[in-house]
């Protein structure tokens, strides 16, 4: 799957609105929609989602501490359902030894959320290469 880049288009086109056509058709939308608070997907204990098949997803949110990154962190930690997703927040400005880990996970820029091995690039704060 390709990294989601609608945030970069949003930053470049200057209209301060994300490219909703890209978002609506993206596989990332389906991933995040199933993990947000209040999502009305499968109910606990349903036939399609028995208790033994429900596991908490792990995610890593990489950022550099810039205003764009902090705003994205606020949204991610506020809207992802903690009963469904365990989010580790990694500040690459203070944990430079983890930059290689982020790169290996497919992160090209921050802020980025890596969930189930899929990097999701949110807006654009800094290129990963600029953090070294």
User: Mind listing the pLDDT tens digit for each residue in 8-36?
Assistant: 444 444 444 445 555 555 656 666 665 55
Domain containing residue 90: 1-12+56-132
pLDDT at 7 > cutoff 50? no
**Domain assignment of residue 39, yes or no:** no
Averaged pLDDT, 87-115: 95
Name 123's Cβ contacts closer than 8 Å, sequence gap at least 6: 7, 8, 10, 11, 68, 72, 111
Give the model's confidence band at 120: pLDDT under 50 very low, under 70 low, under 90 confident, else very high: very high
User: Which CATH number does the domain housing residue 96 bear?
Assistant: 3.40.30.10
Average model confidence (pLDDT) for the chain? Answer: 74
Domain count for the chain: 1
Residue 92: what are its φ and ψ, rounded to 5°? -70, -15
pLDDT confidence of residue 123: 84
Q: Could you tell me if residue 111 is inside a domain?
A: yes
Q: What are the Cα distances from residue 12, in Å, to 6, 15, 17, 18?
A: 10, 8, 11, 10
pLDDT tens digits, one per residue of 29-86: 666 665 555 544 444 444 455 444 557 889 999 999 998 899 999 999 888 888 889 9
**Cα separation of 54 and 51, whole Å?**
5
């Amino acid at each position: 799957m390709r990294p989601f880049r609608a945030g970069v288009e949003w930053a470049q086109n200057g209209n301060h609105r994300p490219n909703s056509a890209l978002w609506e058709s993206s596989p990332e939308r389906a991933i995040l929609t199933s993990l947000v608070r209040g999502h009305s997907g499968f109910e606990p204990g349903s036939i399609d989602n028995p208790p033994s098949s429900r596991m908490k997803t792990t995610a890593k949110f990489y950022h550099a501490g810039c205003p764009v990154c902090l705003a994205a962190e606020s949204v991610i930690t506020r809207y992802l359902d903690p009963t469904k997703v365990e989010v580790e927040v990694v500040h690459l400005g203070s944990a430079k030894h983890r930059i290689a880990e982020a790169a290996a996970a497919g992160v090209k820029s921050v802020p980025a959320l890596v969930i189930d091995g899929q990097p999701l690039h949110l807006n654009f704060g800094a290129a990963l290469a600029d953090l070294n």
